[in-house]
Amino acid sequence: MEDGRMKKWKVQITGDNIDLRRIMNCFPEGETHVQELEKEFFILSDSFESLSSHHEVNVEVTSILGIWNPLVSLQWPGFGFVKSDVVIETHEDGKTTRYHSGFCAFNIRSNVDVRLDAAGQETRSQSVIRKMNGNQKKELVLKLWGHPNRSWTQLYRMVEEMEAEVGCLASAGIATKSELKRFKNSANSAAVAGLDARHRSQFDAPSNPMTLGEADELLRHVALKFLNL
């Protein structure tokens, strides 16, 4: 919320410029958002303001990006995860201290008031975050999607977590029975999934096996529908 006061903490994020602008467009305003300042990108959050050290801010921003990165990549498959870099503390006199692999202080002044989007409209990503509302199953689905070496194992676990939350995915309207059957049969077959197969080699491959790429794309769409429930 914009209150005219300078924020005590902000965290610089780094990555490809296109990805940085993409995540800023997803979270342009609100209690936690991304702001561009002099061609650099920062996360600002009301949750930072009660924290007393840059170590605590680092923990908090890691948690935020642990949800934001996979959520944005669900919507844009080519998105490259952004990383937190420098934690900046702004003191009452306007001077700042930058913490990065140790710390050093620079006497600079900057205007880092919260920027509100003129349209004031909720983005799709913000809508998902609001609907999650601390739902642990949804958070876990996002974290599984964000796994650095996502395979059949993580994809099948995503299905299990979604089913634990809503029951039959077909009945919930977020997947068809035929595509789920094809996915599960492929994931269970060593002839298709190899060492990532959930069962031993006696499970036959389906007549129309799904590739890992097809499975990944299927779960991308299914997860987005699930998160929007």
- Give yes or no: residues 76 and 179 share one domain: no
- When pLDDT is averaged across residues 131-158 and rounded to a whole number, the result is 93
- Give yes or no: residues 142 and 92 share one domain: no
Are 47 and 119 within 8 A, CB to CB? no
Give the predicted TM-score (pTM) of the model.
Answer: 0.84
Residues 6+ apart with CB under 8 A from 25: 123
Q: Which of 69-78, 98-107, 147-156, 194-203 has the lowest mean pLDDT?
A: 98-107
Q: How many whole angstroms separate alpha carbon 56 and alpha carbon 94?
A: 21
- Give yes or no: residues 89 and 155 share one domain: no
Asked whether residue 180 is assigned to any structural domain, the reply reads yes
Asked whether residue 80 is assigned to any structural domain, the reply reads yes
81 pLDDT band, cuts 50/70/90, is very high
* Neighbour order of strands in the sheet with 9-14: 32-37, 40-45, 9-14, 83-90, 96-99, 103-106
Pairing of strands 96-99, 103-106: antiparallel
- Give yes or no: residues 82 and 159 share one domain: no
Q: Percent of the chain having pLDDT more than 90?
A: 71
- Give yes or no: residues 120 and 179 share one domain: no
For helices 124-132 and 212-227, give the axis angle rounded to 10 degrees: 70
- When pLDDT is averaged across residues 144-170 and rounded to a whole number, the result is 94
Domain end call among 126, 150, 183: 126
pLDDT at residue number 217: 97
- Give yes or no: residues 103 and 162 share one domain: no
Q: How many whole angstroms separate alpha carbon 45 and alpha carbon 34?
A: 9
Domain end call among 126, 149, 178: 126
Domain end call among 104, 126, 148: 126
Asked whether residue 4 is assigned to any structural domain, the reply reads no
Asked whether residue 1 is assigned to any structural domain, the reply reads no
pLDDT at residue number 111: 32
- Give yes or no: residues 15 and 84 share one domain: yes
Asked whether residue 2 is assigned to any structural domain, the reply reads no
Q: How does pLDDT run across 19-49, given as a tens digit for each residue?
A: 999 999 999 999 999 999 999 999 999 999 9
Q: How does pLDDT run across 208-222, given as a tens digit for each residue?
A: 889 999 999 999 999
162 pLDDT band, cuts 50/70/90, is very high
- Give yes or no: residues 71 and 144 share one domain: no
- Give yes or no: residues 213 and 150 share one domain: yes
- Give yes or no: residues 161 and 85 share one domain: no
- Give yes or no: residues 20 and 117 share one domain: yes
* Structural domains counted in the chain: 2
Asked whether residue 3 is assigned to any structural domain, the reply reads no
Domain range for residue 143? 134-227
- Give yes or no: residues 82 and 142 share one domain: no
pLDDT at residue number 110: 32
Mean pLDDT score of the chain: 86
